[in-house]
Structure 1
Amino acid sequence: MTTTELAQVLFTTSLQPSEILTSDRVRRVIDDRLCACGGDTALCAAYVAQEAGDHPEAFAARMRWAISIVDAAYADYRLAA
């Protein structure tokens, strides 16, 4: 999955920027959300689109946060590849 797809999945979780997050926790939460959605990233993308329409003032900041958290949580996987 791409960073953007993973960030969209993370975006749909209840994790907040104010929380202290470890890479393991982020990856686990993303895996749990994907399982709950039957592995269908389109469901997460639809939710993200809905939130962007409903709360445009908060969307960009949360998506930037999600992308940065995903980058950090999966950095060790990219280095190994």
Structure 2
Amino acid sequence: MISIVKDLAAEALFVSDLQPSQCPSNEAVEQAVTDMILQYGSDGCAAGVAAEFGDHPDCAVRRMHWVHTELSGVLAPRRAAALH
């Protein structure tokens, strides 16, 4: 279940307008994920990712790497808090 949620969050952040150059806060990342899921749904987010990988694979790989780095920063504090 957690990997499904993490995958959906990654797809949602990927299709958002946030950029690495903005150095977004954890709150901005969370808000972008929420906004994209509400706007496009899980299928729409996945379709956006697929389209980018089809059209611009070199850029999409870099963006997905950034997405996973950002999400690990958001999820790590939540995991630590859940353990206490």
TM value normalised by structure 2: 0.84
Letter in 2 for 1:25: A
Letter in 2 for 1:44: C
Q: 1:23 aligns with which of 16, 22, 26?
A: 26
The root-mean-square deviation of aligned C-alpha atoms, in Å, is 1.3
TM value normalised by structure 1: 0.87
More helix by share: 2
Letter in 1 for 2:30: R
Higher relative contact order (CA 8 A, sep 6+): 1
| Residue in structure 1 matched with residue 51 of structure 2 by the alignment | 50
| Residue in structure 2 matched with residue 33 of structure 1 by the alignment | 36
| Structure 2 residue runs without a partner (length 5+) | none
What is the number of equivalent residue pairs in this alignment? 79
| Structure 1 residue runs without a partner (length 5+) | none
